[in-house]
Chain A
Amino acid sequence: MTDLFNTRYGWILRAGLVDYKLAWKWQKSLVNMRREGLARDTILMLEHPPVVTVGKDGHKENFAKCDLEPIHIERGGDVTYHGPGQLVVYFIFNLTRRGRDVRKFITNLQQGIVDAFADLGIECTIRKGEHTGVWVGDRKIASLGVAVKRWITYHGVAINLNTDLSEFNRINPCGFKAETMISARELIGKDLDIENFADILLEHYANLFVTKFEPVDLASLAEELESQAGGYTI
């Protein structure tokens, strides 16, 4: 469904392997930029080196024996693990421009993942409440945690493509047993091409959010900021 008049333009930044705290800083800068109108609705796709983060609903017993120093952050949800092989997608969206409909936003985040996996022949479902996330049967393949500040979103979803699932053993991810987690690799028995999956996923997000996401890299993001703020070229 192409909608000539209602299609929005957004940015997609694919950054590869990025330190969690650095990406966290990027997110916060983008939130400010988005609020000031200096950035568009932006999707960040990246992977993190092994890290454990705890959301606002963190329960100590779920990461008591964790060997990594957990980072406490402002997203919703409990403890989770990020690491290589897991595709992390952050969304810096201005929900005021999208009817302040957090519910639709959350649904879209998950539906995109369901649609992308469907293209690869993996059937997933969206579950709700404390089970929020994308599941394959009773195993969880993607987790979700979002923060909304003055109607600007940040944080997002983490999708286990080639994640080493044993890494989850150090915590109770989202309060569940570590064995609850599953990866696409375990399902199909071989490594998934992360870049290819990211392409498919982005296409689905473009449809769901009726937004054309134009690729930017970090350097040109700075450039774009300049041209929007001052109207001059480099």
Chain B
Amino acid sequence: MAMDVLVPQMGESVLEGTILEWKVKVGDKVKLNQPLVELMTDKVNVEIPAEAEGVIVEILAREGEVVPVGKKVAVIDDGKGEVKPSTPKSEEPKDEVKPPEPTAAKSVPVAPVPATKPAPRATGPIERAKMSPKVKMMIREYNLDLSRIIPTGLEGRVTVEDIERAVADRSSSAGFTPGPIPAPPVMPSTLSVAAKDAPTEAKPAVPLVKVDIPRFEPLPEVQRVTREPLVGVRKMISDHMVKSVQTSPHVTTFEDLDLTELVNYRDEIKGNFKRTYGANITFMPFIIKAVCLGLHEFPKINASMTDSEIIFKHFYNIGIAVARDEGLIVPVIKDADKKTLVELAVELAELGDKARTNRLTPDDVSDGTFTLTNAGMFGATASTPIINQPQVAILGIHAIVKKPWVVDGEIKVRDISTFGLSFDHRLIDGHEAVQFLHRVHEYLSDPRKMLLSLR
């Protein structure tokens, strides 16, 4: 359906503005909130954003043209069919939108006196009417007739005061007591009878089954626990974890990633990919790429540190934690930023295979600058990983789960994964970590955007 783009009120006594620049042209697809046009008055420069996604079907004012407040300057077709006649705003007669301000003297709008007071009119059904959730709640609570409320708020909104006035009116005219609607009528006599007759203890219809809790003799001491020496990989992991948490004050930040586009793209290519290269294309190569782009932008996250210096690394070796029965191991993809998605996929398959068959060389597991750990393959939706020293951050990847998600104001089924970034707060400030993670999200949620930045 067509949505009108109108010139908003822009300044004290300003009734018109000049079109400075159109940022779109007829036929352009626009996203929600995308800037459409820049308008100027004497002192205020306003960029008008799109209030709907769609296609610009009409532009009704030229650059340099002076347009009055409330004028329709463009039309967006949101492709949803001709259901309603344009936006609610344009339903109001144009005259109401811009009454000339009568005098200059009273210019102190402290009290909620609306700048433009639309003539009192009946409001539509409660869901579609313009009002805050609080007001909607009050209407239901007081069981008010919406058509009897006179809206005085901005753009015909019903305000809390309007409700209070409607309640007061009702109580004075119909003898109602203001207050929430009383509970469904219950005759006092019925109530007291019920109370008298009600058994003090509810008696179930079927007799209870009695459950005896058994008691077992304790096992002989030698059978109760078994002990194994802490050696080898387990000992190393143990020491490393303790050292890491003692060295780095860990903080973990989470972000929910909408990976629907990536999931669709990967589903589209995976069959052909396997036939062409013999390896599976997982999400990991994409995540590695997005992480490298993020690290490039936030170099501290790819650094390490001593007591006296910060060591920035101008290479991007990404470790991938791999689970094995013997314990976790972290093979490293060297210079991951310079490798293509195909090369990363093939190398990941090789390294994974080597890890699981114990064929990794010391070189395969050394010199990482940042680590990814995937707890999602076992179903986890969130975790707080421990940093792989001497690195300063680690990204925990979790299961991609179909969830109800709000997209552009509608609930949709989307593929969502929560990423958790643990970082060393000695070196990395929260806003840097949060921004880094958000950047990774931006790339992964829109693979086409990532394409633009790939080497």
* Complex partner residue of B47 from A100, A148, A207, A226, CB under 8 angstroms: A148
Q: Is B138 part of the contact surface with A, judged by Cβ < 8 Å?
A: no
Stretch at the interface among A45-53, A72-80, A182-190: A72-80
Please give the distance in Å from B132's CB to the nearest CB on chain A: 11
Q: Nearest residue in B to A133 (C-beta to C-beta)?
A: B43
Q: A57-B42, A148-B44 are in contact. Are A102 and B11 (CB under 8 A)?
A: yes
Q: How many residues does chain A have at the interface if contact means C-beta atoms less than 8 Å apart?
A: 43
Can you name 13 extra interface pairs (CB under 8 A) apart from A106-B11, A150-B47? Answer: A56-B20, A56-B38, A56-B40, A57-B42, A76-B42, A76-B45, A101-B115, A103-B11, A104-B115, A148-B44, A230-B251, A230-B253, A230-B430
Chain B residues near A121 (CB-CB < 8 A)? none
Docked-complex contact B434 and A226, CB < 8 angstroms = yes
A146-B43 contact in complex given A101-B115, A225-B431, A230-B430, C-beta closer than 8 Å: yes
- Of A76, A103, A129, the residue contacting B9 (CB under 8 A) is A103
Contact with A along B1-37 (1 / 0, CB 8 A): 0000000111111100000100000000000010100
Please name 6 pairs of A and B residues whose Cβ atoms are closer than 8 Å in the assembled complex, sorted by A: A76-B43, A110-B12, A133-B43, A147-B47, A149-B35, A208-B110
Q: Does B280 contact A (CB under 8 A)?
A: no
Cross-chain contact B35 with A102 (CB below 8 angstroms): no
Contact among A1, A111, A130, A222 with B429 in the assembled complex (CB-CB below 8 Å)? A222
Contact B49 A130 (CB under 8 A): no
Q: Is the CB of B434 within 8 A of A230?
A: yes
B453 within 8 A of A: no
A149 vs B104: C-alpha distance when bound (angstroms): 28
- The 8 A CB mask of A190-207 against B (1 = contact, 0 = none) is 000000000000000001
Q: Are A76 and B110 in contact (CB under 8 A)?
A: no
Question: A218 to chain B: closest CB distance in Å?
Answer: 12
| A106, A130, A151, A232: most-surrounded residue (chain B CB, <10 A) | A106
A218–B41 CA distance with the chains assembled, in angstroms: 33
**Cβ of A234 < 8 Å from any Cβ of B?**
yes
Task: List 5 tightest A-B contacts by C-beta distance, closest first.
Answer: A226-B430, A76-B45, A148-B46, A230-B253, A76-B44
B interface residues, how many (CB within 8 angstroms): 37
Q: Which chain B positions have C-beta within 8 A of A101?
A: 9, 115, 154
Q: Is A137 an interface residue (CB 8 A)?
A: no
Is B175 interfacial (CB 8 A cutoff)?
no
Indicate if the CB atoms of A229 and B9 lie closer than 8 Å.
no
In the complex, number of A-B residue pairs with CB atoms less than 8 Å apart: 116
Residues of B within 8 A of A169 (CB): none
User: Distance (Å) between the CB of B154 and the closest chain A CB?
Assistant: 5
Q: Judge if B108 is at the interface, Cβ distance under 8 Å.
A: yes
**Given A103-B14, A103-B115, A129-B13, CB of A234 within 8 Å of CB of B43:** no
Min distance, Cβ A6 to any Cβ of chain B, angstroms? 9
User: CA A65 – CA B232 in complex, angstroms?
Assistant: 79
B109 contacts chain A at the CB level, 8 A cutoff: yes
Query: Do A234 and B253 form a contact, CB below 8 Å, given A107-B12, A146-B43, A225-B431?
Result: no
- B43 touching A100, Cβ below 8 Å: no
Whether a CB of chain A sits under 8 angstroms from the CB of B425 is yes
Q: B108's contact among A111, A146, A150, A226, by CB below 8 Å, is which?
A: A111
- Which residue on B lies nearest to A229, using beta carbons? B434
List which A20-64 residues lie within 8 A (CB) of chain B.
55-57
